[in-house]
Structure 1
Amino acid sequence: MTKLHFETNVHDINQHQIIKLPKEISDQLPSRGMVMFEGTLNQIVFQAALEPDGLGSHWFELDDKLIDDAALSTGGLVKLEISVLDNWYEPVVPKDLEVALKSSELLDLWDGLTVRARWEWIRWIQFTKNPDTRKRRIEVTCSKLDNGKKRPCCFDLTRCTVTEVSSNGVLKG
């Protein structure tokens, strides 16, 4: 895929600094679901995951280092250049899931999944604000892995799973 160039503004949703991709840029991506990319933002090189916004486009959260390095502020205009990565980077496994995988002796099965599948399980687990639902999803994950399932079923990969910035799977704002 060629490099995509665009300008947009930094947005703030519930104290999370994010970049929303313009729809015409997002339309050029290979998936309506999560996409990994590398790029430059105000000439600072970085990698990130594009999360779906639930409406057919994408967004990503800016980490503190990138905000500082690129001297970003809410509302500020930024220039981006992005390229889709074929190889996904490893997700950070939430501590509660890691503990459950260890206690269920499923770490080898987890490690045998594709990186993309691990992302899908984590996104499905985090797609709830209810702690009891999250706990149950971790239990279901362990059970399904133990029964040979490699991916969560019936999970709409085009929904925004970051509950701090979304409502019903759609990015706020």
Structure 2
Amino acid sequence: MSQNDTYSEFSAIVHSPAQPGDALLQAFVLLPKEASEKLPRRGRTSVTGHINGLAFQATLEPDGQLSHWLALSEPLLNAAGANIGDVAHFDIKAVEQEPEPELPADLQQALAASATASAVWHDTTTIARLDWVHWITSAKQAKTRAKRVSDACNMLAEGKRRVCCFDPSGFYSKAFSAPKAADY
């Protein structure tokens, strides 16, 4: 699949989350299925594009319905002249190379403590590392997250390059969903 095959143009309503518990999530849009289907994967996917003509790069999140949603920061909305409730115009395409995922501090510490796990980690693909990080950061409880960090290092030390039993789309496990939109 070439990068041009992933290109989509669409319009979408800018929503605010119904539960503003996450200070980082100010606004979001739901991608139309047609746009999401052109992307190379149903899990986290990095894209470049434009909102109302303003360039941006972001990582789309899986919505658990084999599609994606996009978090929009307040500075991006302001620069694009978009407000909550507006219909914004987008064009997106998948990046040619997924950027390296940001390594959470707890996973970084655990990998530093295991040379074998660290060696396998660095020998895997960027997509595999993205899935490992997504699996760990998607834990809802601190206890679960700590167990996943430990399990990840054990699996990597055993030579496993991909996190097993993890559906990065959330479709089969229903682990992920887009935020619920607030009523206007």
TM above 0.5, yes or no, is yes
Please tell me the residue identity of whatever aligns with 1:140: D
**Equivalent in the alignment of 2:122:** 111
CA deviations over 1:90-148 (Å, ceiling 9, x no partner)? 11111111111112234443222211111100111122211101000000001111111
Distance 1:36 1:172 in 2: 19
Secondary structure of 1:6's match?
A: strand
Consecutive unaligned residues in structure 2, runs of 5 or more: none
Distance 1:21 1:126 in 2: 23
Secondary structure of 1:78's match?
A: strand
TM-score where L is the length of structure 2:
0.81
- Displacement of 1:64: 4.1
RMSD: 2.0
Task: Return the match for 2:53 from 43, 61, 68.
Answer: 43
Distance 2:92 2:44 in 1: 14
| C-alpha contact (below 8 Å) 2:60/2:68 kept by paired residues | yes
Task: Return the match for 1:90 from 84, 95, 100.
Answer: 100
Task: Return the match for 1:171 from 141, 154, 178.
Answer: 178
Distance 2:113 2:169 in 1: 31
Q: Which aligned pairs between 1:68-147 and structure 2 lie closer than 5 A?
A: 68-105=78-115, 106-147=117-158
Task: Return the match for 1:29 from 39, 64, 73.
Answer: 39
Consecutive unaligned residues in structure 1, runs of 5 or more: 161-166
TM-score where L is the length of structure 1:
0.86
Please tell me the residue identity of whatever aligns with 1:95: A
Secondary structure of 1:157's match?
A: coil
Secondary structure of 1:26's match?
A: helix
Distance 1:119 1:95 in 2: 15
* 118-127 vs 33-42, greater mean Cα deviation: 33-42
Check 1:101–1:63 CA distance in 2 against 1; reply closer, same or farther (3 A cut).
Answer: farther
- Displacement of 1:154: 0.9
Alignment length (residue pairs): 167
Please tell me the residue identity of whatever aligns with 1:73: N
